[in-house]
């Protein structure tokens, strides 16, 4: 669930005159695939703009059920997502491209380190939007030079249904967790798209290879899949820690554990990952500081330090306050009473969102007597009603008296 900043570019230009013979569509497609790999893409395929009618129906059902939560941008202009021609009437072919970001380590291992934060694999390195967009532009310019056409490039930020289009282009299939699965790269592919006015030969759509496996459905800590191939984003930890702007609902806080930005559980347990390779792009590799950051150190980040730590990272877009909210939920789940000092210090934070999360963290780490004493003092000074509601509604965990 990535940021919504502009990710579309319209590129056009003349063919290179007298520098090469006109290629047949089939030879142009082969040359395009070779150029894509030379630019760092790990896979490429071509689909028609009319290839996702069935996915469009699933999308409408998703919206009708309200499963998109507060992601209003998903519900805006659904007709554009349902058919690429609704976004750009002139498109004749959709070139789908993938970049492998397979992790070096098991993403689930950190969940046992309760005093450290788990950041989703995709967000531990540089922002993939920037890297892939540059490559898409370079490939698009090559295509325009090779054959007179118009193109637009997209990377996860416009009204494009990348995963169904990637399946239609043969890059993989949408698994029961609704994410793309590749027989070659498992669950770890970033996607980008080039729309073009050229008629290019289509690839065969991939078919579903999930079989009877339910690993991704059963591992979800918050039961975000009401049925195979259906996601209720309102229950998804990625949505709750990234897209959700307010307090995290009480019913999901314990299940979040130490996940402070996103969740990889349903991706990581997929059996097809046994064939996956570690990503080869250094800029997407995990930064050492983000592999397993200590919760107490993260809790001390002010806005400037937050921005410095997450420079060029997708984490930066949620802002310091929402991030510290997530860190405090993880602190509350740490079962480490020594972290209560960090939560107590944040009771004086300028953000009501942070103060409210600090209240809950303290309710999990303090004895009832300690918590009630804090509440008695804090309620006299707290003016924000949402934070006052946290004091009144948080139920201290059963901890022995000190």
Confirm or deny that 210 is annotated as ligand binding. yes
Asked if residue 142 is part of any domain, the answer here is yes
Among 196, 211, 246, which residue terminates a domain? Answer: 196
pLDDT, average across residues 229-252? 97
Per-residue confidence (pLDDT) for residue 202, from 0 to 100: 98
Give burial (CB, 10 Å; 0-12/13-18/19+) of 92: middle
pLDDT for residue 5 is more than 80: no
Asked if residue 179 is part of any domain, the answer here is yes
Same domain, yes or no, for 169 and 315? no
Which is higher by pLDDT, 49 or 19?
Answer: 49
Confirm or deny that 302 is annotated as ligand binding. no
For 384, the domain range is 294-396
Asked if residue 70 is part of any domain, the answer here is yes
Per-residue confidence (pLDDT) for residue 3, from 0 to 100: 37
Per-residue confidence (pLDDT) for residue 10, from 0 to 100: 56
Confirm or deny that 220 is annotated as ligand binding. yes
Confirm or deny that 264 is annotated as ligand binding. yes
Asked if residue 241 is part of any domain, the answer here is no
pLDDT for residue 159 is more than 90: no
Which is higher by pLDDT, 10 or 379?
Answer: 379
Per-residue confidence (pLDDT) for residue 7, from 0 to 100: 45
Contact call for residues 187 and 270 (beta carbons, < 8 A):
yes
Same domain, yes or no, for 22 and 131? yes
Q: What is the domain count for the chain? A: 2
Per-residue confidence (pLDDT) for residue 2, from 0 to 100: 39
Contact call for residues 68 and 74 (beta carbons, < 8 A):
yes
Asked if residue 281 is part of any domain, the answer here is no
Among 133, 161, 196, which residue terminates a domain? Answer: 196
Contact call for residues 60 and 82 (beta carbons, < 8 A):
yes
Per-residue confidence (pLDDT) for residue 280, from 0 to 100: 83
Q: Is 195 helix (H, G, I), strand (E, B) or coil?
A: strand
Asked if residue 313 is part of any domain, the answer here is yes
pLDDT for residue 287 is more than 80: yes
Per-residue confidence (pLDDT) for residue 394, from 0 to 100: 85
Same domain, yes or no, for 306 and 164? no
The residue among 289, 241, 244 whose CA lies nearest residue 264 is 241
Among 143, 170, 196, which residue terminates a domain? Answer: 196
Within 220-351, residue ranges assigned H as helices are 237-238, 250-256, 265-268, 288-291, 295-299, 303-309, 319-332, 340-345
Same domain, yes or no, for 147 and 26? yes
Per-residue confidence (pLDDT) for residue 278, from 0 to 100: 86
Asked if residue 341 is part of any domain, the answer here is yes
Confirm or deny that 43 is annotated as ligand binding. no
Confirm or deny that 266 is annotated as ligand binding. yes
The residue among 119, 106, 120 whose CA lies nearest residue 294 is 119
Q: What are phi and psi of 131, to 5 degrees?
A: -65, -50
Cα 232 to Cα 224: distance, rounded to the nearest angstrom: 5
Same domain, yes or no, for 189 and 298? no
Residue 190 sits in a domain whose CATH number is 3.40.109
Asked if residue 12 is part of any domain, the answer here is yes
Catalytic residue status for 208:
no
Selecting among 126, 127, 156, 349, the annotated active-site residue is 156
391: its two tokens: 């004091």
pLDDT for residue 161 is more than 90: yes
């Amino acid at each position: 669930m990535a940021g919504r900043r502009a990710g579309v570019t319209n590129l056009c230009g003349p063919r290179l005159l007298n520098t090469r013979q006109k290629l047949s569509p089939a030879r142009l497609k082969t040359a395009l695939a070779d150029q894509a790999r030379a630019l760092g893409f790990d896979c490429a395929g071509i689909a028609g703009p009319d290839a996702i009618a069935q996915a469009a129906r699933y999308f409408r059902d998703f919206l009708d059920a309200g499963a998109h939560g507060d992601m209003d941008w998903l519900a805006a202009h659904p007709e554009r997502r349902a058919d690429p021609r609704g976004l750009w009437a002139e498109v004749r072919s959709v070139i789908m491209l993938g970049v492998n970001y397979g992790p070096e380590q098991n993403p689930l291992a950190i969940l046992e380190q309760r005093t450290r934060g788990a950041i989703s694999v995709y967000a531990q390195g540089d922002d993939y939007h920037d890297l892939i967009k540059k490559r898409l532009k370079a490939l698009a310019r090559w295509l325009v030079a090779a054959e007179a056409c118009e193109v637009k490039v997209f990377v996860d930020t416009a009204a494009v249904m990348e995963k169904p289009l990637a399946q239609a282009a043969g890059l993989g299939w949408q698994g029961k967790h609704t994410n793309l699965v590749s027989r070659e790269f498992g669950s770890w592919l970033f996607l980008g798209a080039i729309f073009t006015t050229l008629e290019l030969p289509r690839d065969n759509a991939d078919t579903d290879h999930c079989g009877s496996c339910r690993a991704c459905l059963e591992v979800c800590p918050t039961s975000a899949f009401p049925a195979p191939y259906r996601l209720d984003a309102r229950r998804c930890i990625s949505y709750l820690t990234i897209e959700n702007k307010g307090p995290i609902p009480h019913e999901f806080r314990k299940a979040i554990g130490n996940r402070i930005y996103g969740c990889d559980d349903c991706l990581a347990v997929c059996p097809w990952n046994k064939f996956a390779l570690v990503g080869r792009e250094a800029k997407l590799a995990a930064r050492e500081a983000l592999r397993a950051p200590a919760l107490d150190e993260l809790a001390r980040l002010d806005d400037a330090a937050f921005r410095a730590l997450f420079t060029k990272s997708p984490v930066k877009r949620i802002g310091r306050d929402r991030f510290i909210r997530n860190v405090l939920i993880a602190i509350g789940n740490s079962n480490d009473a020594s972290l209560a000092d960090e939560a107590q210090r944040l009771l004086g934070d300028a953000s009501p969102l942070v103060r409210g999360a600090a209240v809950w963290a303290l309710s999990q780490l303090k004895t009832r007597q300690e918590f009630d004493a804090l509440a008695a003092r804090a309620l006299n000074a707290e003016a924000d009603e949402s934070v006052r509601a946290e004091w009144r509604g948080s139920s201290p965990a059963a901890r022995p008296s000190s």
